[in-house]
């Protein structure tokens, strides 16, 4: 059966490289096996969810080449959650509680002081109808908890192998807040059932949630999906990534000029058994994804690696794939120019720097005027090819006796204004004889 997966971001900030790792792993598994990729906006947090973030998420996914087969918003699916909550209440699995947060915190502290785990003691289950009525008369608003089975819940995790959690070690989770709003857990399960999600691939910070959600799946009569919990990306110093900080957001990486496949390659391959390298397409990247080969240890993400991967990717990119973008940057010269300079670019915009070197003007280094004048007199007539540089420098060497760095560096500095750059055998024909003569005479 083709897999149905979902990426479920909350539109409460700009998604970062860690979020997109989850999206990409889901996309790769789905598309490799002919499945479907669903984008679900978890926007039940009305205060923090913003349309600008939802729009940014769609833009980020499109930039990386991930177009969802279906996009839904939890804020538009409340009737489904209400029906599920009613079903759980009717089954006696969703019960009202009246404790304030302060009361719960004091209770947790007392339990910890006695050496007990700070697990909710289910006091609300012992309330009489009169006590509940009294609380409501006081103006207390009830929240609703799911009654866990207190059993060992196990599953075969696609990354971690056999996994299990004893739900007796957990507090009955609050599914509905006192203000009537739903927390993440219930809407997520209801959507997964309704949308036919077969595989849930997400970060390992959700492992404990999985046991709770399996019990809710079963209570609602839904098929339990397969689960896989991948390791999380951290900063180079080991800190977690946060949408609120804006660090390493996909938008900022795009604005910095990085290629989408450099970002995708690093996000997916970091922390796996595969060598981190530039991959040319999402289809090729999907062929490398094996959830069982993802490390259990946190994966440290070094932003400097994007620079390296981006450069390596561009160095292998054919002209046809960047022609339109080069034209938009005001870069001419066609394929000959791109092949001449691509090994010297880190970002595509760097090509404009080299086009400016070709077309001038440049801050030429006058150097030894006599040497340059003699070199200028030996410039071959056009048309020029890649062999012109060798022909010319051989003649200059014979005429002046200069060789090695003493021969090549003054010519490079005069022609480009720099002491580094693309091979001059490819750059010289692009500069042309008229510009070369002018620069040698500068």
- 243 in the same domain as 101: no
The yes-or-no verdict on residue 120 having pLDDT over 80 is yes
Q: How confident is the model at residue 363, as a pLDDT? A: 83
Q: How confident is the model at residue 14, as a pLDDT? A: 94
In a domain, 433, yes or no: yes
Q: What are 59-100's pLDDT values in tens digits?
A: 999 999 999 999 999 999 999 999 999 999 999 999 999 999
- pTM of the entire predicted model: 0.91
CATH number of the structural domain spanning residue 436: 1.10.10.350
- 102 in the same domain as 18: no
pLDDT band at 253; cut points 50, 70, 90: very high
In the chain, % of residues over pLDDT 70 = 98
In a domain, 264, yes or no: yes
- 352 in the same domain as 271: no
In a domain, 49, yes or no: yes
- Domain boundary, last residue among 283, 316, 349: 316
Q: How confident is the model at residue 239, as a pLDDT? A: 74
Q: What are 129-157's pLDDT values in tens digits?
A: 999 999 999 999 999 999 999 999 999 99
Q: How confident is the model at residue 244, as a pLDDT? A: 58
In a domain, 364, yes or no: no
In a domain, 109, yes or no: yes
In a domain, 436, yes or no: yes
Q: What is the mean pLDDT of residues 422-436?
A: 96
Please, which residues have CB within 8 angstroms of residue 201's CB and are 6 or more apart in sequence? 5, 22, 25, 26, 29, 158, 227, 228, 230, 291
- 108 in the same domain as 70: no
Residue pointed to by tokens 């006081």: 138
- 73 in the same domain as 126: no
- Domain boundary, last residue among 316, 342, 377: 316
Please, which residues have CB within 8 angstroms of residue 370's CB and are 6 or more apart in sequence? none
In a domain, 58, yes or no: yes
How many CA atoms are closer than 13 Å to the CA of 308, on its beta-carbon side?
A: 7
- 68 in the same domain as 17: yes
Number of domains within the chain = 4
pLDDT band at 26; cut points 50, 70, 90: very high
Q: What is the mean pLDDT of residues 237-253?
A: 75
CATH number of the structural domain spanning residue 56: 3.40.50.620
- 308 in the same domain as 216: yes
Q: What are 191-217's pLDDT values in tens digits?
A: 999 999 999 999 999 998 999 999 999
Q: Is 153 left (phi over 0), alpha (psi -120 to 50) or beta?
A: beta
- 333 in the same domain as 312: no
- Please give the DSSP secondary-structure letter assigned to residue 280: S
The CA distance from 428 to 162, in Å, is 63
- 269 in the same domain as 309: yes
- Annotated binding residues: 243
Q: How confident is the model at residue 242, as a pLDDT? A: 66
pLDDT band at 298; cut points 50, 70, 90: confident
Please, which residues have CB within 8 angstroms of residue 248's CB and are 6 or more apart in sequence? 16, 17, 18, 241, 301, 303
- 193 in the same domain as 274: yes
Q: How confident is the model at residue 65, as a pLDDT? A: 97
Show the domain range for 337. Answer: 319-359
- 74 in the same domain as 21: yes
The CA distance from 394 to 398, in Å, is 6
Q: What is the mean pLDDT of residues 233-242?
A: 75
- Annotated binding residues for ATP: 243
- 133 in the same domain as 117: yes
Q: What are 310-335's pLDDT values in tens digits?
A: 999 999 999 999 999 999 999 999 99
């Amino acid at each position: 059966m083709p897999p149905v997966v979902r990426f479920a971001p909350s539109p409460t900030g700009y998604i970062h490289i860690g979020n997109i790792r989850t999206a990409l792993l889901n996309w790769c598994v789905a598309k490799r096996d002919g499945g479907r990729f669903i984008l679900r906006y978890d926007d039940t947090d009305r205060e923090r969810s913003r349309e600008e973030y939802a729009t940014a998420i769609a833009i980020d996914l499109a930039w990386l080449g991930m177009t969802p087969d279906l996009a839904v918003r939890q804020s538009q699916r409340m009737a489904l959650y209400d029906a599920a909550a009613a079903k759980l209440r009717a089954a006696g699995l969703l019960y009202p509680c009246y404790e304030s947060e302060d009361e719960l915190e004091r209770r947790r502290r007392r339990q910890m002081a006695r050496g007990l785990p700070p697990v909710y003691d289910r006091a609300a289950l012992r309330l009489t109808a009169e006590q509940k009525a009294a609380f409501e008369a006081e103006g207390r608003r009830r929240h609703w908890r799911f009654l866990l089975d207190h059993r060992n819940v196990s599953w075969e995790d696609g990354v971690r192998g056999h996994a299990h959690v004893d739900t007796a070690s957990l507090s009955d989770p609050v599914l509905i807040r006192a203000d009537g709003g739903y927390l993440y857990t219930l809407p997520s399960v209801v959507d997964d059932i309704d949308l036919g999600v077969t595989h849930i691939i997400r970060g390992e910070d959700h492992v404990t949630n999985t046991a709770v959600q399996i019990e809710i799946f079963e209570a609602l009569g839904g098929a339990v999906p397969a689960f896989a919990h991948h390791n999380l990306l951290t900063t180079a110093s080991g800190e977690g990534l946060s949408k609120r900080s804006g660090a390493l957001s996909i938008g900022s990486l795009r604005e910095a000029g990085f290629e989408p496949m450099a970002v995708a390659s690093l996000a997916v391959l970091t922390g796996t058994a595969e060598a981190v390298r530039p991959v040319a397409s999402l289809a090729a990247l999907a062929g490398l994804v094996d959830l069982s080969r993802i490390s259990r240890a946190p994966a440290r993400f070094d932003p400097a690696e994007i620079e390296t991967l981006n450069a390596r990717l561009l160095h292998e990119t054919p002209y046809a794939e960047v022609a339109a973008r080069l034209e938009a940057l005001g870069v001419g010269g066609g394929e000959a120019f791109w092949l001449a300079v691509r090994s010297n670019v880190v970002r595509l915009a760097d090509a404009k720097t080299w086009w400016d070197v070709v077309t001038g003007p440049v801050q030429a280094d006058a150097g030894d005027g006599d040497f340059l004048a003699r070199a200028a007199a030996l410039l071959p007539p056009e048309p020029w090819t890649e062999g012109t540089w060798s022909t010319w420098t051989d003649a200059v060497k014979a005429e002046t006796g200069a060789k090695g760095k003493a021969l090549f560096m003054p010519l490079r500095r005069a022609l480009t204004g720099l002491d580094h750059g693309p091979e001059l055998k490819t750059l010289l024909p692009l500069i042309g004889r008229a510009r070369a003569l002018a620069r040698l005479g500068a």
